Amino acid sequence: MHIPANDHTVRPWIPFQLKRLSDPKHPVRHFLAPIVQRIGTHVGDTVVDLFVLAGSDLMGTIGIPRVVLMETSLNRLLKEGAAPVRSLRQRLMVLLSADNAELRDNEALRQKALVPAKDAVMHVAANVGDYTDFYSSRQHAYNVGCMFRDPANALLPNWLHLPVGYHGRASSIIATEVNFHRPCGQYKPSPDAAPVFGPTRQLDFELEMGFFTYEGKPLGQRISTDEAEDRIFGLALFNDWSARDIQAWEYVPLGPFLGKNFASSISPWVVTLDALEPFRVPGPVQDPQVLPYLQYAGNKHYDIKLEVVILTSGGSETVVSRSNFRHLYWNMAQQLAHHTVNGCNVRAGDLMASGTISGDTPESYGSMLELAWKGTKPVKLDDGTERRFLEDGDTVIMRGFCEKEGLRIGFGEVRSTVLPAV
């Protein structure tokens, strides 16, 4: 499986802004002042500028106030809820169809509204107020448990009964192509040594996907598994970077802190659940049977093919993992139901991440910790070098797509380069 880097065949959503163009004759040059973020949707190699369409008379039938489509992030739109956003998506599908003359034959509007993707600077889709990271891949949890405990006790007693999660740091969620410096912190050079301070020696990626929420219920009310998908807007690729040695020293008793909060990278394009409808698949049999509030009906998992590439500073690309979103044990409906069962409220634009996605074969593991098995089995790259963990100058690229019966939906990619510690 190879996923083309320019694979964007669905109509997802993202705030973007236009690059400052040096060519005064460029067709979009005349409306670039001032340059601001705006909401867009992606078709092929083109970004459709909803700010521009909202200023025309083509969007008046969808029931969403014009000013909502002129915002700089998706938060106001997500407050509208699933039904209005579904109407917006359907209207855009009509406008962008080849046999619809409303936009096709309006040359002036098309010049403004259809922007080459290469001229767009991508941003995080929403202003994330709260971010939760789950731990929902059974194989990943088993692998980590084997490394740090033993196979007989790999899964902790609660793992098969609830979707384990923790509250992450929203301020350090970064857009694709935003690079970051290797984090520093305390770690133990060996089990018997005293802790030292310095740059992490075990920097890792985590192959994940994240979903953005619509506005939830008021504080004190819960969202059931039956209601959950009406509160989920869509999915994006997510790389939750991890400093394994810092995390290993700090996590007892309260869990991840500095080993996780320095950076998390997210892809720009958010694919709606409506678009993913043809790719629903059954989930695993959950044994022991979960409590009633976590039980669900129908297919709540999705067949989304994923890959991870390491691009070295010398320019060599190696695919190090091929996995699939369907490998999760706990699905999104269960995650949201568990998150709110105590009355916790979620807000429009909140982000929930899946946790590392690992399949049941070594080539489908979703982190260097697993691929190199805690550094004991170095991963060989195509340029002849090896990696136990990530080195300065490495770029990690994650890509994803769905494909079935001639229908292909692309998630694009999320990439970031590791810079030296400061």
Q: Are 307 and 322 in contact (CB under 8 A)?
A: yes
**CA pair distance 282, 232, nearest whole angstrom:** 19
**CA pair distance 151, 220, nearest whole angstrom:** 39
Q: Are 130 and 167 in contact (CB under 8 A)?
A: yes
**CA pair distance 236, 412, nearest whole angstrom:** 9
Q: Phi then psi for 370, rounded to 5 degrees?
A: -85, -45
What's the one-letter identity of residue 76? R
**CA pair distance 329, 341, nearest whole angstrom:** 19
200: its two tokens: 């992490």
Q: Are 321 and 371 in contact (CB under 8 A)?
A: yes
Helix (H, G, I), strand (E, B) or coil at 37: coil
Q: Are 201 and 243 in contact (CB under 8 A)?
A: no
Residue 356: Cβ within 10 Å count: 28
Q: What is the CA radius of gyration of the chain?
A: 22
165: its two tokens: 């999660």
181 is catalytic: no
- Which ranges of 347-420 does DSSP label H, i.e. alpha helix? 368-371
Q: Of the residues 42, 123, 140, 339, which is catalytic? A: 140
413: its two tokens: 């990619």
Q: Are 242 and 261 in contact (CB under 8 A)?
A: no
User: Which DSSP category does 326 fall into?
Assistant: G
Tell me the catalytic residues: 140
